Structure 1
Amino acid sequence: MSWIQRVLYGPARPSVGSWKPLRFDSGAFHLKGTAELARALLVLRLCAWPPLVSHGLALQAWSQRLLGSRLSGALLRASIYGQFVAGETTEEVKGCVQQLQALGLRPLLAVPTEEEPDSIAKTGEAWYEGNLNTMLHCVDLSRALMDNPNPAGKSLMQLKVTALTMPLTTPFQKELTSWIQRPGASSELNPKRLAEAMDSGKDLQVSCLNAAQSQHLQASLNRLHRVAQRARAQHVRLLVDAEYTFINPALSLLVAALALRWNSPREGGPWVWNTYQAYLKDTHERLERDAEAAHKAGLAFGVKLVRGAYLEKERAVSTLQGTKDQTQPDYEATNMSYSHCLELMLRHVSNHGPSCHLMVASHNEESVHQATKRMWELGIPLDGTVCFGQLLGMCDHVSLALGQAGYAVYKSIPYGCLEEVIPYLIRRAQENRSVLQGARREQALLSEELWRRLLGRKA
């Protein structure tokens, strides 16, 4: 039996000296075409320019007025859209994914449909039902993409809960969140009761909500249940996107209900993974508590670990409301938090095997080095229940090095029409300013590789 363990999982605790760190240098770019590298360098430099990110939506509108929709759209497709988006049609998305798979990378589809807290509220069940159909199509597409040519790989997709439930700018969300935080609310609003309502489809009566709000909650549960049901049938795992802290209590309750219903190891779970943001002070404590709770309940546990993208918004809301700032004081503290959370989850994976899954979603080379080293020391297989994630069009020197070394690496790829995706990309850029401005090393490596090709030097 011991030799089978060694074959499947490698040595239990190999010596640190035998581990060799991956090289994240320009050598990874040898796999990509010159035109691709040139576009990447141009776009990353543009995105690192703060005025462009801050005023992106206004500049887009100005460009359309000045150049016309057709020319403006062509320029965007040749630059930002082409760099960060898989395409609009199914065939375009498939072509992008085939290119990724040829490089040893996998797709993590992301539907650019969501509702921002400061946007005009989209009301009516029809809007949410439309988003439901889009999500179901994303599930089907995610599965179809992995059938060609890598059927052994896990199919993953991102799920934005606020596209299917709860208008963020209405009293409904505020009342529900406030009620959840009351000591006596657990009997009415708990994951088990919501999971039962998902399964039965019966109306869920909650005393803090009026009849219309209760109907919306039940419809929201039904939509989430249908997505999870389709994902399970298609063997696609759902990675729930992170949200703003001030709406997390309500959304975490819904995700917990989904996990309770769909994360049984007997069904091959976890099918629903939650995202944990290391820039929040309580993340390590919550992660440890949730991991232990899942283990005690006999549930599989799936985690996407990120540093977090809403730092500026979180601090602004905290200042405006006069509440305690829940974010880490600086970048170094966030790095330390991420490192501690990563260590916690890798040990959990090592102890609980196939019932615990982790995505190390990071562009930080030190975090990736830590993860690969600890995986080796703990005997976690390269292509097992730990995978890595980066954004399409960014951090390719890390993604390609990981993929070529045999690790499971996913690129988060939005897809859709130009009119929908560009505003989405601009919002993501505003949320990820530090990542974009910190991509100087990637720009330097791109320049190095382009100069090498221009001067005809050998690699």
Structure 2
Amino acid sequence: MFYVKTVPALKRARADIHFKRLVLNRAVRCTVTSSSTAQTEHDGVRIRGGSECPGLSGRGGRRREGTAAAAAANEISVDFEQTREAYKSKDSLELLRSLVVFKLCSYDFLVDKNKEVMDLAKKILGQKTFDQFMKMTFYGQFVAGEDHNDIKPLIQKNHSYGVGSVLDYSVEEDISQEEAERKEMDSCVSAAEKENIGKDHRERKYQAHKQFSDRRGGVTGARTYFYADEAKCDQHMETFIKCIKASGGSSMDGFSAIKMTALGRPQFLLQFSEVLVKWRRFFTFLASQQGKDGLEALEQRLELTQLQEFMTKLGANGDFYGWFKGRKEDSTGCIDMLDWNSLIDDRTKISDLLVVPNVELGKLEPLLGKFTVEEDQQMKRMLQRVDVLAKHALESGVRLMVDAEQTYFQPAISRLTLEMQRTYNGEKPVIFNTYQCYLKEAYDNVTMDVELSRREGWHFAAKLVRGAYMYQERERAKEIGYEDPINPDYESTNRMYHRCLDYVLDEIALNRKANVMVASHNEDTVKHTLTRMNELGLIPTENKVYFGQLLGMCDQISFPLGQAGFPVYKYVPYGPVNEVMPYLSRRAQENRGFMKGAQKERELLWKELKRRLASGELLYKPVY
């Protein structure tokens, strides 16, 4: 799985790619004006025809004018204010439930004490009545049902209104903080570290710290797994397989979500992440020695002759030119970050991957002094579980979405996901990686992975999110003493999100092999995406650009998009009432901030209820 051959030259020269991007951006910025008064409107979706794009004369100009005109002719505008269309899949009781739940989520006392309140309600009402109450309120709003049979009616109803599903079995362990801390510390520290405390040259960021070992702290938008043993990881894998099969059995174009930390000992993710980051940092250092600092990651190049000379001056004994023996005949004599990353290759033992460059000795050295046989086997089993899930997804016709996690795990998670993409995304997008755009390095990560997919000819597939671990990440960086990995403010994160999104959309327009899910509740981001799709001539039926929102939230965005023909998906959690309580607790906390900051959804819900009351449609029932 980890074989990484030396990367071949680009099928198209890099200069040609950059030129095409410049031409593309020049073309879409031209003024598009209506040349026809014909305009149709149906179900809140406007289709406008006719346009002209002046200023692109000369060789190729006429063709680009025609392309822009064709794009404008297919331009689709979605109206997110049309409540009748946004809520046509809901009866009036469902609208009323949404209003009640969102209102309750705005009360700090209820949200802060939600666990105590629910425990008290359970004692007073009894388990059966409590379950019924939850299904009428919070559970019914945010969870699809108890099992894969129970969720089929909702999936089919949403599908009939143009909205697909990303299935997520949302059962979580409800364990104490003390137990969470114990499990995390036991599973993130290797035998070598326990025997030789402080002797291995590990970075503090990639080590377990007791005060942050309960990874649930400050996290409302993501589920957390704690390692117990290998048997528990096998159970998680079987659960994911059932979810994949349920997704394949309920629709033709579904997604299923997984988390890497559910599939193995997190010690490996910590250690492998540290190795990957050190390799990347070493490349950046060498590039700075050749005067290439200050450039974006993909623009940095190392001249191999200068590299060898510099390392020799440092007293290094190794043949660094020989590290890239497969590229000695390369006419450019240069390597970039992707070539550099290819040094991590297939080895006899998985633990042999955990090596870092030693500048003084000019050779690779192990990150830790030793690995036990059991640790090596645990690493192998984690990779095997990931591979099993990818195969099941391919066989079931389901796309597998790998969720992002904390920054001290994420480099390894992204690399493992990328290896799956290289294996399974050759003919179509099966494996989707998740990029958290609140990270300062998000753009570099996206551009490097897009470039690698282009070189090797597989389908790039990404889910773009803003991120779920901001408060925890900031506090951990401050307390432990490393650079805050998060963008300084919300506006910076928005700019990063749109920058990453624009890059992928441009790539789709260039070669139609990239794919992206815009996982956002932000209406401005969705509108930005629609504008860019119209500019680039990307039509919904190509199924290259997807949209995603959580079940029970932002229906005024999801359903108008679906009815306009855009591929849009709800993240659909399911599981028994009593076992999804941690998930519901997080939804309540997440919605507190969401509902306090944005009143639009509640206003639209009230508007639709009033419209139905005035028009005599209060007893309206969805037909599907």
Normalization by structure 2: what TM-score?
0.64
Q: Choose 337-346 or 25-34, whichever is displaced more.
A: 25-34
Q: Which structure features the higher share of helix residues?
A: 1
Match of 1:160 in 2: 259
Match of 2:242 in 1: 137
Match of 2:91 in 1: 33
In structure 1, the gaps of 5 or more residues are 1-10
CA distance in 1 between counterparts of 2:499 and 2:617 reads 41
Match of 2:603 in 1: 444
1:296 is aligned with what amino acid? Answer: R
The equivalent position to 1:366 in structure 2, one of 505, 524, 536, is 524
2:238 is aligned with what amino acid? Answer: N
CA distance in 2 between counterparts of 1:250 and 1:52 reads 38
Q: Choose 158-167 or 443-452, whichever is displaced more.
A: 158-167
Match of 2:350 in 1: 204
CA distance in 2 between counterparts of 1:231 and 1:442 reads 35
State the Cα distance separating 1:222 from its structure 2 match: 0.7
Q: Does the Cα contact within 8 Å between 1:194 and 1:254 map onto a contact in 2?
A: no
State the Cα distance separating 1:345 from its structure 2 match: 1.1
1:317-366 deviation line (CA, Å, top 9, x unaligned)? 2222222212122222222221212111111111120x211111111111
Q: Does the Cα contact within 8 Å between 1:191 and 1:253 map onto a contact in 2?
A: no
Q: Secondary structure at the match of 2:463?
A: strand
CA distance in 1 between counterparts of 2:518 and 2:425 reads 20
Q: Does the Cα contact within 8 Å between 1:191 and 1:260 map onto a contact in 2?
A: no
CA distance in 1 between counterparts of 2:245 and 2:441 reads 36
Q: 1:100 to 1:132 in 2, by over 3 A?
A: same
The structure whose Rg is larger is 2
Mapping 1:101-120, distance limit 5 Å: 101-113=159-171, 118=214
Mapping 1:270-419, distance limit 5 Å: 270-353=429-512, 355-384=513-542, 385-419=544-578
CA distance in 2 between counterparts of 1:50 and 1:274 reads 35
CA distance in 2 between counterparts of 1:18 and 1:56 reads 48
Q: 1:69 to 1:408 in 2, by over 3 A?
A: same
Q: Does the Cα contact within 8 Å between 2:463 and 2:518 map onto a contact in 1?
A: yes
Q: Secondary structure at the match of 2:539?
A: coil
1:178 and 2:274 are equivalent in the alignment: yes
Match of 1:5 in 2: none
State the Cα distance separating 1:431 from its structure 2 match: 5.4
Q: Does the Cα contact within 8 Å between 2:89 and 2:158 map onto a contact in 1?
A: no
1:153-173 deviation line (CA, Å, top 9, x unaligned)? x22111212111224xxx554
CA distance in 2 between counterparts of 1:256 and 1:31 reads 37
Q: Does the Cα contact within 8 Å between 2:437 and 2:497 map onto a contact in 1?
A: yes
Q: 1:400 to 1:195 in 2, by over 3 A?
A: farther
1:55 and 2:113 are equivalent in the alignment: yes
Q: State how many pairs are aligned.
A: 430
1:141-164 deviation line (CA, Å, top 9, x unaligned)? 111111xxxx4xx22111212111
Q: Choose 114-123 or 69-78, whichever is displaced more.
A: 114-123
Match of 2:68 in 1: 13
State the Cα distance separating 1:203 from its structure 2 match: 5.6
1:46 and 2:145 are equivalent in the alignment: no
Q: 1:308 to 1:205 in 2, by over 3 A?
A: closer
2:401 is aligned with what amino acid? Answer: L
CA distance in 2 between counterparts of 1:428 and 1:318 reads 26
Q: Does the Cα contact within 8 Å between 1:350 and 1:378 map onto a contact in 2?
A: yes
In structure 2, the gaps of 5 or more residues are 1-65, 174-179, 181-212, 216-224, 284-322, 324-339, 353-365, 619-624
Q: Does the Cα contact within 8 Å between 1:195 and 1:258 map onto a contact in 2?
A: no
Percent of paired sites with the same residue: 34
1:131 is aligned with what amino acid? Answer: H
Q: Does the Cα contact within 8 Å between 1:12 and 1:378 map onto a contact in 2?
A: no
Match of 1:253 in 2: 415
Q: 1:78 to 1:399 in 2, by over 3 A?
A: same
Taking only aligned residues, the RMSD between alpha carbons, in angstroms, comes to 2.8
CA distance in 2 between counterparts of 1:427 and 1:246 reads 22
Q: Does the Cα contact within 8 Å between 2:350 and 2:376 map onto a contact in 1?
A: yes
CA distance in 2 between counterparts of 1:100 and 1:437 reads 27
Q: Choose 76-85 or 308-317, whichever is displaced more.
A: 308-317
Q: 1:30 to 1:252 in 2, by over 3 A?
A: closer
Q: Does the Cα contact within 8 Å between 2:72 and 2:537 map onto a contact in 1?
A: no
